[in-house]
Homo-oligomer: A and B are copies of this chain.
């Protein structure tokens, strides 16, 4: 049997198995096959592996130090199939990315500096560069639980996931219509709107202009198809105004997103909220706030003349802290916080997440995933250790012979 060193970590609201890249390079097996074997896939229950049989618990993060002098760590996210023998490398996971800086510090790939250490991170799925900050002390990681985020019932150690210069990534500019406030019409509804592109393109509307409070539960909003249709019409009109579609009908379903905002009342303000928000994504009200949406709202709040800054009585600077200017948005799940700072002359908007190391150890790889012991394995076995051949090793990577081979390599 082969064992693969691994760390299990909670990152935000996901549970992620974390690997050093070379540890997944096993002779005769693809990385996909190794991950599927470790996770117990394909199997709807992932009973024979470490997968948790849900999308948020069948995730892997693969890390290595970077050769690029501007990058400390490169990481790749893998969504490991559950009942399919398939690994999806096509997207990043904002939650799992919270494990990158803490893992890099523990590995010694980054030298801790004081109580807060900066880690430059490249996600290879998307090519996106991030700057993360994680708490450190006494030259090591500071893993004490100090911070609570929506969706996690216990406090965790804080990590800030910074998006470097996020403005205009989709359209070329922060305010793609050229104006901080536009007017959008859908049916007989015409309202002011801010169209902002940061993290993701977002259409921002004032709740009061729609007869809403922005305190509605997602279920209550989802139960009003007429309202959702109007909001989607305004979202599509915004897509046209942002140059993302020629007609409202041609607008994509996923982007732009739509946010409905209100100013916090006195009690909400003293509870830490700078803004109250309900966000629609893919036609449904989000249970909290997507990270990309929180980045967009943070930058919209800082610009003069947007519907957000108008609501707040002028451009909002949040609350100054060591980590930057914190801006907290009250969502159905609680406060979602970002930090704004300028580093190396570039604006950085960071989402505050938490992490915790759960397990340090190694995962056993099945002899041959999904198949009984092969004849090749028996052959390799009977001839080791003196004369195991390369052919036997290649044909049966989990056999004792190949383990022997690995130990030599």
Interface size of A by CB at 8 A reads 46
Contacts of A40 in B (CB 8 A): 154, 358
A144 within 8 A of partner (CB): yes
Q: Given A48-B10, A144-B367, does the pair A153, B357 have CB atoms closer than 8 Å?
A: no
A370 within 8 A of partner (CB): yes
- Give the segment of A49-57, A66-74, A167-175, A328-336 that binds chain B: A49-57
* Residue from B10, B151, B361 within 8 A of A362 (CB atoms): B361
With both chains docked as a complex, state the minimum distance between the C-beta of A195 and any C-beta of chain B, in angstroms: 35
Q: Which residues of A in the span 155-172 have a Cβ within 8 Å of any Cβ on B?
A: 155-156
Contacts of A359 in B (CB 8 A): 6, 8, 50, 359, 361-364
Majority secondary structure of chain A interface residues (helix, strand, loop or mixed)? loop
A372 within 8 A of partner (CB): yes
A317 within 8 A of partner (CB): no
Contacts of A252 in B (CB 8 A): none
Determine whether the beta carbon of A49 is less than 8 Å from that of B358. Answer: yes
* Residue from B43, B151, B156, B366 within 8 A of A356 (CB atoms): B366
Determine whether the beta carbon of A358 is less than 8 Å from that of B367. Answer: no
Determine whether the beta carbon of B43 is less than 8 Å from that of A153. Answer: yes
With both chains docked as a complex, state the minimum distance between the C-beta of A382 and any C-beta of chain B, in angstroms: 12
A13 within 8 A of partner (CB): yes
Indicate with 1 or 0, residue by residue over A367-391, a CB within 8 angstroms of chain B CB atoms: 1011111000100000000000000
Determine whether the beta carbon of A47 is less than 8 Å from that of B372. Answer: no
Closest-by-CB residue of B relative to A355 is B48
Q: Given A1-B143, A366-B145, does the pair A15, B47 have CB atoms closer than 8 Å?
A: yes
Determine whether the beta carbon of B48 is less than 8 Å from that of A152. Answer: yes
Closest 5 CB pairs of A and B: A361-B361, A155-B372, A43-B153, A48-B154, A357-B364
Given contacts A48-B152, A48-B154, 6 further A-B contacts (CB under 8 A): A40-B154, A50-B359, A52-B57, A144-B367, A148-B372, A154-B369
